[in-house]
Amino acid sequence: MKPLTEKQKKYLWIAAGVLAAIHFAPGILMRARLAFTHPAVLAKPSPVRPALQQAPPAPLAPEIVAAARYGGVWMGDTITPDMNRCSLKLEIRLSDDKPAKLKGYASKSCVPLQGLTHRGPITNGIVQNMIDQSAPASVIMTGTPQENGISFTVDQAIGTEINGCSLNTLSITDFGQGQVAAQWQETKQESPCPPGKMMLRKRG
């Protein structure tokens, strides 16, 4: 094999240089690019904000709570010491006022049983007297919620009982499941009326 001439050696060195440049050029270019490129500014993580706490709901008015608990129609009857069979109907609901008021609508009637003890024949007069005396007396009331019931005061009286008494105050108190104990005080001009009480059951 003939030794390489100086010219051939020169061509080999040039070819080797080109091959080396082709092999190392991508890495050199990448490093150069990174060297002249500004580093990316890392976005600072936003501070973690505590979740907004929702304000607790405003408490319901006592009248609304009482209406949900006692609203509806309550009825009952009892025999009084003077031998009258008395019945009471009480409706409780919220008014349309703003703010709403707790209203009560009560009707009380008593049937005198003394006429039934009459030893003689039942006459038309006795029957008519019983009908007259059993005419109901009604009142419209405003209620104030209590811890275990409602206390009512009378706003307007509609009619009076045959004895001249009319409801002045009335209250109900929890008594077992589906019942309330009603107590009332009646008044009239001539003399005081005895207080009354009765068990009422929810009817609607």
Q: What is the mean pLDDT of residues 66-79?
A: 95
- 3 state SS of 1: coil
- 3 state SS of 117: helix
How far apart CA 3 and CA 167 sit, in angstroms, is 141
User: For the whole model, what pTM was predicted?
Assistant: 0.64
pLDDT more than 70, % of the chain: 63
Mean pLDDT of the chain: 78
* Cβ-based neighbours of 60, under 8 Å, separated by 6 or more: none
Q: What local confidence, expressed as pLDDT, does residue 37 receive? A: 53
Residue 14: is its pLDDT beyond 80?
Answer: no
CB neighbour burial string for 22-52, b if at least 16 within 10 angstroms, e if fewer: eeeeeeeeeeeeeeeeeeeeeeeeeeeeeee
Torsions phi, psi of 149, nearest 5? Answer: 165, -155
pLDDT tens for 26-63 read 555 566 555 555 544 445 556 666 666 788 888 889 99
Q: What is the mean pLDDT of residues 133-137?
A: 71
How far apart CA 127 and CA 82 sit, in angstroms, is 18
C-beta separation of 101 from 127 below 8 A: no
